[in-house]
A and B are shown apart, each in its own frame.
Chain A
Amino acid sequence: MADIKHLEDLVTQVRRDILRMVHKVNSGHPGGSLGCAEFFVALYNELMERNESFEMDGIGEDLFFLSNGHISPVYYSVLARVGYFPVDELNTFRLINSRLQGHPTTHEGLPGVRIASGSLGQGMSVALGAAQAKKLNNDNHLVYSLHGDGELQEGQNWEAIMYAAGNKVDNIISTIDLNGQQIDGSTDTVLPMGSIKGKFEAFGWDVLEIKDGNNVEAILNGMSEAKSRTGKGKPVCVLLHTVMGNGVDFMMHTHAWHGKAPNDEQLEIGLAQNAETLGDY
């Protein structure tokens, strides 16, 4: 059984990492990062079968692809906290000569990252390719991917979504971060997308929802159910309902903190709401 208290402590620590990283360089994307902290912690600590060392080919282990690369702070924090690289390296986020680029990349050789992302809408295709390579290699591990909801406005996603079902790529679990926000406002005001569930189902995916995507237990239960639905001829989509900016009260339920860093005072307020648990970097 998962140690929920430990995972929740880790989530709190990851939130502190996110806030401190973007504050230090006065840039980066805290809102979406905070909203997905529970998901990343659950994924990397409980759900994925991972090798300790990092190999680009990832044979014999589960893989994860982040499509909405701007939430790199949460990705970097969790990769460091599970041991892919030293936690102290979070100090270098977005600084010159860093492996922790503004958006994730393989270019500087950061362990844990297998594809560059940032220009939106490309990650699902990549994840599907990796999933098909796993099938060719008779490797029955899974491929996970994460996508923003606003990101689904990019057309390439729908090419990939159509392809996945048509080719029965059933060793993938693609999660959509449904926070309902994008840079210019709510997704409903910027470009209403209708029923995302209905769209995925119409394209032939098996879709399930995690209504409380900021609850570790709910994520573990929902993702375990998703895993049980793989290998049955359909790609699996998880609609993860999250709150942007979760865990920092003034950042919640708004797109205002999509790509804005807190000032000194705001940082202190945010950190006060998330006590140090496992130790700051």
Chain B
Amino acid sequence: MKTYTNTGNKDTRSGFGAGLTELGKTNENVVALCADLIGSLKMDAFKANHPERFFQVGIAEANMMGLAAGMTIGGKIPFTGTFANFSTGRVYDQIRQSIAYSDKNVKICASHAGITLGEDGATHQILEDIGLMKMLPGMTVINTCDFNQTKAATLAIADHHGPVYLRFGRPKVANFTPENQTFEIGKAVKLTEGNDVTIVATGHLVWEALEAAKALNDKGISAEVINIHTIKPLDDKAIIDSVKKTGCIVTAEEHNYLGGLGESVSRVLSQHLPTPQEFVATRDTFGESGTPAQLLEKYGLNSAAIIKAAQTVTKRK
């Protein structure tokens, strides 16, 4: 099976920062707004390079979303930056009315998503944001897996007209996708070929899925790993084609199993190709304080959990 090399752990939020820095140089319509989290969102370089296009809004996320919507009127492409929790749940109605319903070209960039935010605990660990955002008509939802892909996605969404939710995280994780890759919104990336089980993963759990695939291979189970970086619009065909071959599927995400990637996959398969599925996701629970690795283990989100789910689902065929 194809294997991937970690070129060194890096945080996905730094991928966002690198992409934004590049956009500052290449696209003069790009503006950035931040709600008092410049360092956390890695927006320092953009601010330093383009102070006139950077807007510090203070701890006022609702206002930030409205400002961003207004700035599109006049041709700007606003990138908002704050934690995922404050990018979604806190400002849902502002996004719904002023951005999504109004079809404004705003890029909602959300760091510290999921449980791997770690020690800050459940108040900051949103596990519901994919569901919230995918339910909004017209909203594109992206959850990138590593530094390189997050940078590529940041560049790509500037060229896509319409509201986008870009989800990434805090911890340093494996960086294994190609540098300077082309990011195609809505296009799944098949990472390994396999015949026994399909594993579709998003965000930080893509690397965990690759680790699981290696271990499964040693146990005689051939896993096809697909990186679903775009949860909406979902690449239905890539999922259906893979499942036609493997006959079962595991979905893996750092999110509640209610409303996440797994449910989107279930919807597609139940309509087109009913298939046994196991969910690697949180089970309708809040998170808690801990290290990212401890939390991934406790809440069943690491490679061990994916291996177990794959073994279970292959028996259900």
Binding site for A on B (CB under 8 A): 31, 52-53, 55, 57-58, 60, 62-76, 78, 93-94, 96-98, 101-104
Nearest B-chain residue to A130, judged by Cβ = B70
Nearest A-chain residue to B103, judged by Cβ = A106
Residues on A with C-beta less than 8 A from B52 are 136
Residues on B with C-beta less than 8 A from A106 are 101-103
Instruction: Given A59-B74, A156-B62, answer yes or no on A125-B103 (Cβ-Cβ < 8 Å).
Output: no
Chain B nearest CB, measured from A114 CB (Å): 5
Binding site for B on A (CB under 8 A): 56-59, 63, 65, 105-107, 114-119, 122-134, 136-137, 139, 155-156, 159-160, 162-163, 166-167
Q: In whole angstroms, how far apart are the Cα atoms of A143 and B244 in the complex?
A: 56
Q: Are A129 and B93 in contact (CB under 8 A)?
A: no
Nearest B-chain residue to A109, judged by Cβ = B103
Known: A63-B73, A123-B66, A126-B67. 19 other contacts (CB 8 A): A58-B74, A65-B70, A107-B101, A107-B102, A115-B69, A115-B70, A116-B102, A118-B97, A119-B93, A125-B63, A125-B67, A125-B70, A125-B94, A125-B98, A126-B66, A128-B66, A129-B71, A136-B76, A160-B60
Q: In whole angstroms, how far apart are the Cα atoms of A97 and B103 in the complex?
A: 19
Chain A nearest CB, measured from B56 CB (Å): 9
Instruction: Give which listed residue, B55, B60, B102, contacts A105 with CB less than 8 A.
Output: B102
30 residue pairs of the A-B complex, CB under 8 angstroms, read A57-B75, A58-B74, A105-B102, A115-B70, A115-B104, A116-B98, A116-B102, A117-B97, A119-B96, A122-B66, A123-B66, A125-B67, A125-B94, A125-B98, A126-B66, A126-B69, A128-B63, A128-B66, A129-B70, A130-B73, A132-B70, A133-B70, A133-B71, A133-B75, A133-B76, A137-B74, A155-B62, A160-B63, A163-B58, A163-B63
Nearest A-chain residue to B31, judged by Cβ = A136
Q: In whole angstroms, how far apart are the Cα atoms of A124 and B65 in the complex?
A: 11
Q: Are A122 and B60 in contact (CB under 8 A)?
A: no
Chain A nearest CB, measured from B218 CB (Å): 54
Residues on A with C-beta less than 8 A from B64 are 125
Chain B nearest CB, measured from A131 CB (Å): 7
Nearest A-chain residue to B64, judged by Cβ = A125
Residues on A with C-beta less than 8 A from B53 are 136
Chain B nearest CB, measured from A109 CB (Å): 10
Chain A nearest CB, measured from B85 CB (Å): 17
Q: Are A126 and B98 in contact (CB under 8 A)?
A: yes
Q: In whole angstroms, how far apart are the Cα atoms of A118 and B94 in the complex?
A: 11
Chain A nearest CB, measured from B247 CB (Å): 42
Q: Are B68 and A129 in contact (CB under 8 A)?
A: yes
